[in-house]
Chains A and B, each alone.
Chain A
Amino acid sequence: MKSVIYVIKENLSNIYRIFCIAKYELLADMRDSKFGLFWNFASPAIQVLTYWLVFGIGMQRRGYDGIPYLPWAIVGFAAWWYISPCITSGCSAIFSKQNVITKMKFPVSVLPATVCVKEFFNHLCMMAIAIVMLFLFGYFPNIYWLGLIYYAFCAFMFVEALALLTSVLTMMWRDVKKLVTSLMRMLLYLSPVLWPAAFSGYPFMTFIMKLNPVYYIVQGYRDSIFFNKTFLDHPAMTIYFWVVVVVLFFLGSSLMYHFKHKMVDML
């Protein structure tokens, strides 16, 4: 419990540091290329186009639950492309900053948050594209869209908790990063991003799929936009999700707390 308080306190007291690091890392990424910010919008747009060509046109998906395939998939991808890069780069959150932590006294536990904040900006770019596409398909904002804010918060807390855990584990065993990178490909298909991740006729399998916390987030984004539902419509899922997040956060911060001074020796 001490460790959880320690991590939360350190993150809150360094909030300016977190935002500043995230901001300048984004800026550095943009300086790298000539068009900069343009790519933050263009690369997700091109990806959406690819999947739409393959699955929407090529494989003749009709869409799910009465929603055409392209808007259905875009909303799923919007959530996925926040979660996925956060998980992969969250693993190396501490490791990639080794030149900083070996050379100055630095609150290591804020590093996972910097990654999540940085990716959140990219997520907002993606959401902008998604919303423009939804307008083109004739979906207009209503009060239920506010649920997106809640689910974005869910996603942030989930990736932050996971990144806390995996970033310390990566410091102990570099293999963790490779493992997570490979598992991400699997996770894409275990989540309802490209398909509803439901097995008609096998309710047990569908139940298993729902144990994946990403399911809750992706489905939540869709519920808010298409189905006029709030998180109160899924009380069991909501409780389950937050239990998972709290457990991950607890594990992550206790590891972080125990190893905070050992990081330098683990490199």
Chain B
Amino acid sequence: MSDYVVKLDGVSKIYTLKQKDKSKKKTYFYALKDISFEVKKGDTVGILGTNGSGKSTLSLLLSGISEYDEGTMDIRGEQALISINTGLNMQLTGEENINVKGALLGLSKKKIQEIKDKVIDFAELGDFLYQPVKKYSSGMKSRLGFSISLALDPDIIIVDEALSVGDKGFAQKCLNHMAKVRDEQNKTIFFISHSLGQVRNFCTTGMWIEGGRLKEFGEINEVCDHYAEYVDGLNALDEKTKKAALDEKFKERILDKAPSRTFWDMLIR
């Protein structure tokens, strides 16, 4: 099978942890361990998982911001992480921020002029567009930020809980827009959210990451059902067993020896 856009093979990401007792010795921690999957063009992958299980780390790897430590990753196409508040300057007006964020995202001057009207239309901010962003409510900020990000034209869109701030109506509008783009231009979307309802409706493939490992990858409703069951099961446990289970999971991710590539290797390489 060769029609994939994203292919991960045994990808791991290792973080360094400090010891509790401030000793010099460091421990290493698998943020992600041995992740392998393939995603076809036009798929929408919903990524599920409890807090700290590595969803955001995966989104950083997929968007090419951070580098993985082990394994191989093959991505065909331009990828972009949709971020809401980054690149917005509080002192400047909404309109100027379109220029700022556009430039940060690497758009040319002409391209920014082209998308400007679309962004203004989409954000529905009215006269607030000419107010400094510091006066915006958090929902308005995310509207502006999201609208600018959507105007980008990447092949692979990665959304990391970006829709959890705005109101339901706007979230639905964004989802509809993304679904339209996906169907018309055959884009691939990775969607990270804790809202199972949104994920069920929007995604075609589900991915469940637990404790840094890929637990399940398959049809969205199945994965969602299993995940919901797991969360309910976790909540039903009493405090002590829950804590023990979490500790156990944490221990599994600890790595005793240093990863093969150390600081000096990086310098010399």
Contact B103–A99 (Cβ < 8 Å) = no
A259 to B63, CA, bound (A): 17
Whether a CB of chain A sits under 8 angstroms from the CB of B100 is: yes
Is there an interface contact between A104 and B87, defined as CB atoms closer than 8 Å?
A: yes
Q: Return the CB mask of A55-79 against B: 1 if under 8 Å, else 0.
A: 0000000000000000000000000
Category for how many chain A residues contact B = 20 to 34
Q: Do the beta carbons of A14 and B89 come within 8 Å of each other? A: no
Please tell me if A233 contacts chain B, counting CB pairs below 8 Å: no
At the interface, yes or no: A103 with Cβ under 8 Å from chain B? Answer: yes
Question: Tally of A-B residue pairs with Cβ under 8 A?
Answer: 79
User: Cβ of B161 < 8 Å from any Cβ of A?
Assistant: no
Q: In this assembly, does B48 line the interface, its C-beta being within 8 Å of a C-beta of chain A?
A: no
- Identity of the chain B residue whose Cβ is nearest the Cβ of A13 in the assembled complex: B106
Tell whether, in the assembled complex, residue B266 and residue A21 are in contact, meaning their CB atoms are under 8 Å apart.
no
Are A28 and B92 in contact (CB-based, < 8 A)? yes
Interface bin, chain B: 20 to 34
Q: In the complex where A17-B103, A20-B103, A24-B96 touch, is A105 in contact with B79 (Cβ < 8 A)?
A: yes
Q: Which residues of B contact A14 (CB under 8 A)?
A: 106
A27 touches B103 (CB 8 A): no
Max chain A Cβ within 10 angstroms of own Cβ: one of B60, B64, B100: B100
Contacts of A45 in B (CB 8 A): none
Are A261 and B67 in contact, with the CB atoms below 8 A? yes
Contacts of A264 in B (CB 8 A): 60, 65-66
User: Is A234 positioned at the interface, with any CB of B under 8 Å from its CB?
Assistant: no
Does B83 count as interface, using CB distance less than 8 angstroms?
Answer: yes
Whether A9 sits at the interface, judged by CB under 8 Å, is: no
**Could you tell me if B60 and A99 are in contact, using CB atoms closer than 8 angstroms?**
no
Whether B89 pairs with A17 at a CB distance below 8 angstroms is: no
A35 within 8 Å of B (CB atoms):
no
CB-contact partner of B91 in A16, A20, A32, A106, under 8 A: A32
Question: A16-B103, A16-B109, A261-B67 known; A103 and B80 CB under 8 Å?
Answer: no
Mark A233-267 against chain B: 1 for CB-CB distance below 8 A, else 0: 00000000000000000000000001101101100
Contacts known (A14-B106, A20-B103, A103-B81); A28 close to B91, Cβ less than 8 A: yes
Whether B66 contacts A21 by the Cβ 8 Å rule is: no
| A103 and B86 contacting across the interface, CB-CB below 8 Å | yes
Binary flags per residue of A20-47, CB closer than 8 Å to B gives 1, else 0: 1100110111011000000000000000
Nearest CB in chain A to that of B152: its residue: A104
Q: Which residues of A contact B79 (CB under 8 A)?
A: 105
Which chain B residue lies CB-closest to A172? B263
Identify which of A24, A29, A103 contacts B99 (C-beta below 8 A). A24
**Is the pair A103, B96 in contact by a Cβ cutoff of 8 Å?**
no
Distance A261 CA – B112 CA, assembled complex (angstroms): 27
Known contacts A16-B109, A31-B91; is-contact A104 B81 (Cβ 8 Å): yes
Q: How far in angstroms is the closest Cβ of chain B from A78?
A: 28
Is B267 interfacial (CB 8 A cutoff)? yes
A to B CB contacts below 8 Å, 6 in the list: A27-B91, A100-B104, A105-B80, A107-B106, A261-B67, A264-B60
The interface of chain B, by Cβ under 8 A from chain A, is 15, 60, 63-67, 79-81, 83, 85-87, 89-92, 96, 99-100, 103-106, 108-109, 132, 266-267, 269
Shortest beta-carbon contacts, A-B, top 6 = A20-B103, A103-B86, A103-B83, A28-B91, A261-B67, A31-B91
